[in-house]
Amino acid sequence: MDGKSLNITEDLLSKLKEIVPAAFTENKLNIDQLKQLLGEGGNTDIERYQLNWAGKGDAFKTLQAPTTSTLEPELENSLNWDSSSNVFIEGENLEVLKVLQKSYFGKVDVIYIDPPYNTGSDSFIYPDKFSITKEEYQKLAGEKDFEGQLLREGVFRANRKENGQYHSNWLSMMLPRLYLSRNLLKDDGFIFISIDDNELASLKLLMDEIYGEENFRNILLVRRYDKNINTQFLGEGLKTFNTGVEYVLIYSKNSAAKMNAVFRESSEERKSQGYWKGFWNDAERKTMQYELLGVEISEGQWKWKEDVAKEAVENYEIYLKDFADKMTLEEYWRKTGSNKKFIKRNPQGKGKNKGVEHWIAPSDKILRNTLWQDIFASKQSSYLEVPFNNPKNVDLLKLLFSIGLSEKKVGIVLDFFAGSGSTANAIIEYNEENDSSINFITVQLPEEIDEKHIAYPKGYRYISEVTRSRIKEAISYWKTKSEVQLTYSDVKKDFGYRSFKLTPSNFKIWRSDKISNEEELIAQAELFSENVENDTKSTNILWELVIKNGYSLSATISEIDKGDAKYYVVEDNDLAIITSKFTDSIQKDIISSKPKRVIALDSVFNNDDCKKTNAILKFEQDGIYFNSI
């Protein structure tokens, strides 16, 4: 406490940095960057340390463009819909992330993604124009097939290394998705991103900009299978060595979040033997600078508090005096409870600790560092047939989730580059091993499978089909295993998932870009005599209203049947929705149950403005907010 009043400027900058870390460059507010984030342009000519590329401004426009899309429930492709909070979404992930903003803002515990590595053979979405109509976008991207699935040639374009904007295209694809992902994380949330050395440098700079450099935690080096592709060139000399690792970048939502410790198995020698290590630390807490074994320090500090350290000195002196000739220090440590600490001084020791050392006891497990040599980045499932080359290792993902989830028993893990479905598979296993009920949300575009892909002969035509199939098979396997083992748990097991598909809005969207004369204006107006698209299922309308009012995809919806009409109640009477018919019995029933809000389609009043006005007044009299659409 310094006795000074609050520094308003510093406090405001600190709060702004928490909300918009991307508006800061080298720890200083970048006004032009903030303007660009707000869609107000900004001077990009001023030289400063930051990541720039061709198309970055357009990528921000893509980020800022709102979506009218929605998610359509697919009960026929789901498993245990009524009881499940797991979610699979088929659709383009940028649009999906925009749709999820209201429902999941600040609610996701962990994000894991395995995006395209930009190896020169990857295909992903990167339109060169962003301020275009949906029709223009589809023409640019390539037409859809007769079922509405996205064709590979078109919306997916191979980003070849010969392309003049090879790195720029990849960065433009990643930027809006990563910005939107940050919004979804809880304040103590973490994001893990797998990548290789093609875009590691670019991704690190991009994540520093979006998540904030202060929220960078680590880059893990994870072993990958050696392909030995360079052995054929040994005689003429190598241009490069074979790549032996992939990387996982770890960022937090804010710097206060704490990671959970994870361990690896010790070597046999380390399990049986301890070793001595210098007893010194770089920090400088005055309470940790005390005399120990004749050594006084003025810089740095000892590792332990004074009473703990002096007890450890005494423990070792007792061992030397009474037990050293009878047993090893390891044996003595085990016989006395495996918890004693020991400190000694090596007379020949040099350095800042002047030879003071503490004993590191034998251990079956060792705290992991950033080098993960004992686990592979990719690995085939031991119990499921996954028709994918090099699917992500489920054991690796479970470790990452353990870091980010700590000991949480409930939570949400999001993956918007789902691929073969490794994340969902890993969460199902994680729950069984940790007696938890973590839910997954996985997103996969219906990318067309090439005829040469190993999934093609097995009948799969889209990657999303592989994802969904693996989720079903993993749930079936672990549900059966759980039933056989008959293990008791207080945690409710979720052996199911809800399937959704990204679709255009069920409501007609006013298209001012289609109006250039009076005739077109009249045509648009006639279209809006009824604001709901023709042949739209009431269930789809219902879910669009639920999602766009900020409810989750696991929301409970009850149908209330009043004989001559029906309505829906969302989340224990929080919201009532009327989509088909408005009657006195429905209004009385809703008023008696007193939901917080009521939403009704305009069409339920059959153009009877008097009836609509009376309904509004009655709801308002009873303190119920009413809105018609």
Helix axes 584-593, 609-621, angle to 10 degrees: 20
Q: Given a cut of 70, is residue 142 above it in pLDDT?
A: no
Write down the H helix ranges in 111-188.
134-141, 152-155, 166-184
Question: Coil, strand or helix: which one is 226?
Answer: coil
Q: Mean per-residue pLDDT for 590-611?
A: 92
Residue located via tokens 């006005």: 613
**4 pLDDT exceeds 80?**
no
Q: Report how far residue 349's alpha carbon sits from residue 347's, in angstroms, rounded to the nearest whole number.
A: 5
The torsion angle over the Cα atoms of residues 560, 566, 567 and 573, rounded to 10 degrees, is -20
State residue 1's pLDDT score: 33
Q: Would the CA dihedral through 344, 348, 354, 360 be positive or negative?
A: negative
User: pLDDT tier at 467 (50, 70, 90 boundaries)?
Assistant: very high
| Backbone φ/ψ region at 256: left (φ over 0), alpha (ψ -120 to 50), beta | alpha
Q: At what angle do helices 93-104 and 538-548 cross, to 10 degrees?
A: 70
CB under 8 A, 24+ apart: contacts of 576-584: 577/542, 577/545, 577/546, 578/604, 579/538, 579/541, 579/542, 579/545, 579/604, 580/538, 580/604, 582/611, 582/615
247-306: pLDDT as tens digits = 999 999 999 999 999 999 998 999 999 999 999 888 888 889 999 999 988 789 999 999
Non-local CB neighbours of 67 within 8 Å, separated by 6+ positions:
95, 98, 99
84-88, 238-242, 531-535: least confident range: 531-535
Q: What percent of the chain has pLDDT over 70?
A: 84
481-495: pLDDT as tens digits: 888 776 667 788 899
Distances (CA, A) of 72 to 499, 539, 545: 9, 8, 11
Q: Is the pLDDT of residue 121 over 90?
A: no
Q: At what angle do helices 463-485 and 422-434 cross, to 10 degrees?
A: 10
**CATH ID of 64-127+171-262+372-501, from 3.40.50.720, 3.40.50.150, 3.30.1200.10, 1.10.3720.10:** 3.40.50.150
CA dist., res. 268 & res. 362, Å (int): 10
Can you give the residue ranges of every domain in the chain? 64-127+171-262+372-501, 271-359, 514-628
Half-sphere exposure of 448 toward its Cβ, with a 13 Å CA cutoff? Answer: 17
Phi, psi angle pair for 46, to nearest 5°: -65, 130
Instruction: Assess whether pLDDT exceeds 60 at residue 522.
Output: no
Model confidence band, residue 6 (pLDDT cutoffs 50, 70, 90): very low
Question: CA gyration radius for the chain?
Answer: 30
Q: Which pLDDT band holds residue 14 (cuts at 50, 70, 90)?
A: confident
pLDDT of 147: 42
Q: Can you state the angle between helices 394-405 and 422-434, rounded to 10 degrees? A: 60
Q: What is the 3-state secondary structure (H, E, C) of 195-216?
A: ECCCCHHHHHHHHHHHHHHHHE
Report the candidate in 282, 124, 137, 115 with the shortest Cα–Cα distance to residue 199. 115
- 44, pLDDT greater than 60: no
Q: What SS3 state is found at 184?
A: helix
Checking if the pLDDT of 3 tops 50, the result is no
Tokens of 143: 């037409």
Name the one residue in this structure whose structure tokens are 């699935």.
149
Q: What is the mean pLDDT of residues 49-77?
A: 91
Write out the two tokens for 75. Answer: 């009960």
- 426-461 pLDDT, tens per residue? 999 999 999 999 999 999 999 899 899 999 999 999
What element of type H or E holds 592?
helix 584-593
Instruction: Measure the CA–CA gap between 154 and 125, rounded to whole angstroms.
Output: 9
**What's the confidence (pLDDT) of residue 490?**
75
| Cβ neighbourhood burial of 448 (10 Å; 0-12, 13-18, 19+) | buried
For 516-574, give the DSSP string: SSHHHHHHHHHHTTS-BPTT--HHHHHHHHHHHTT--TT--EEEEE-SS-EEEEETTTT
Give residue 626's pLDDT: 93
Question: Tokens in use for 172?
Answer: 């433009």
| Closest CA relative to residue 96, chosen from 580, 446, 588 | 446
The beta strand positions in 272-421, using DSSP E, are 275-278, 343-345, 356-360, 365-367, 371-376, 410-415
- The pTM for the full model equals 0.84
Distances (CA, A) of 77 to 81, 301, 433, 465, 499: 9, 61, 27, 10, 6
What is the chain's mean pLDDT, rounded?
86
Contact 404, 110 (CB under 8 A): yes
Q: Report yes or no: 293 and 345 within 8 Å, Cβ to Cβ.
A: yes
Of 151, 408, 149, 584, the closest CA to residue 140 belongs to 151
> Is the separation of the CB atoms in 166 and 137 below 8 Å?
no
Contact assessment for residue 544 and residue 507, using Cβ atoms and an 8 Å cutoff: yes
Q: Reply yes or no on whether the pLDDT at 516 is more than 90.
A: no
* Burial bucket for residue 232 (CB in 10 Å: 0-12, 13-18, 19+): exposed
- 410-415 and 437-444 strand pairing: parallel
Candidates 342, 393, 452, 454; CA nearest to 223 is 393
- Alpha-carbon gap, residue 444 to 466, rounded angstroms: 10
The Cα diameter of the chain in Å comes to 104
Phi, psi of 438 (to 5 degrees): -80, 135
Cα–Cα distance for residue pair 566/219, rounded to 1 Å = 55
